[in-house]
Each structure stands twice: as structure tokens, then as C-alpha cells.
Copies of this chain bind each other. A is one copy, B any other.
Amino acid sequence: MSETIEEKCLAKGVKLTDQRKIIAKVMTEANDHPDVDELHSRVLKIDPKISIATVYRTVKLFEEIGILAKHEFKGGKARYEQLNEGHHDHLIDIKSGEIIEFVDEEIEKLQKKVAEKYGYTLVDHKLELYGVKKKTQ
């Protein structure tokens, strides 16, 4: 079911260059949400020749063919994460910057309902929660 990024590229007729393979690998191994700079420096550790322009071009391409998701959280640079089957939203710790992924079916349903109510079909959405850790847990 869950194919690798490389398989998806083949399926889409996208050329599999070394650079793309490396970027795919780094993103697959990442379990955070790196921005382009961060991604670039991780990629440089594998191949020090890859340019930042290629990284920009590649994340854009990967986003278009649906294997990466781009997030523009508050006041920062764009950050990316690998897109798997399961959709999720984000809860961001405004102190530490930590990002928690969550799914809430009920909210998803209500969103669809709101769109319908205004005569729209929901095609996408963005939900970000910003919070602070509670002291007494």
C-alpha cells in the first residue's frame, strides 16, 4: 500500500536523479518538519554538491505529485513533511516549537459540513492549534 517516494516518482514519470533520491531518502527518514535550509544541510551530508536551488525545485515537484506536504506555520519559513495515507493536523507548542500531529474525525466531518452549508465542496483545509504545555498534567 504505502509505496516509497521512488516508486511514486516512477508511477508519475518523474526522472529519478541522484539528487532526488537523496532528498527523498532524507525526507523519508525525517520524523520532524524541516524547512528547506534544514533539509538542504541534511542532504549536504550525503552529497555536498547538491545546491539549494535543486532542493527548492525538488520539494516543489514532490509537493505537486503529492508526496510532500508544505506547511507555513506562524511567522516562519515553509516546512515540509512526507505525506502518508493518514491525513493529520498539527498542534504546535508556542514555547518550544515542538509539533504534535493529531487526527480528529469529528472536526474533519464538521469542516465538510461547514463548507456544504455555504454551498462549497471542501477540497483542502488547514488546521493548526497553538498551545502551551499545562503545568499540572
Q: Interface-forming stretch among A28-36, A44-52, A99-107?
A: A99-107
Query: Is A131 a contact of B115 with CB atoms below 8 Å?
Result: yes
Please indicate the chain B residues that have their CB under 8 angstroms from the CB of A74 in the complex: 126
What is the size category of the interface that chain A forms with chain B? 20 to 34
How many copies of this chain does the complex contain?
2
Q: In the complex where A72-B72, A107-B107, A115-B91 touch, is A126 in contact with B125 (Cβ < 8 A)?
A: no
Q: In the complex where A72-B72, A107-B107, A126-B126 touch, is A121 in contact with B114 (Cβ < 8 A)?
A: no
Query: Is A134 a contact of B121 with CB atoms below 8 Å?
Result: yes
Say whether A65 faces chain B, with CB atoms less than 8 Å apart. Answer: no
Query: Is A128 a contact of B130 with CB atoms below 8 Å?
Result: no
Query: Is B131 a contact of A120 with CB atoms below 8 Å?
Result: yes
Query: Is A129 a contact of B107 with CB atoms below 8 Å?
Result: no
Partner among B94, B114, B129, B131 whose Cβ is within 8 Å of the Cβ of A102: B114
Distance in angstroms from A68 CB to nearest chain B CB is 15
Give the B-binding residues of A (Cβ under 8 A): 72, 74, 91, 93-94, 100, 102, 104, 106-107, 110-111, 114-115, 117-134, 137
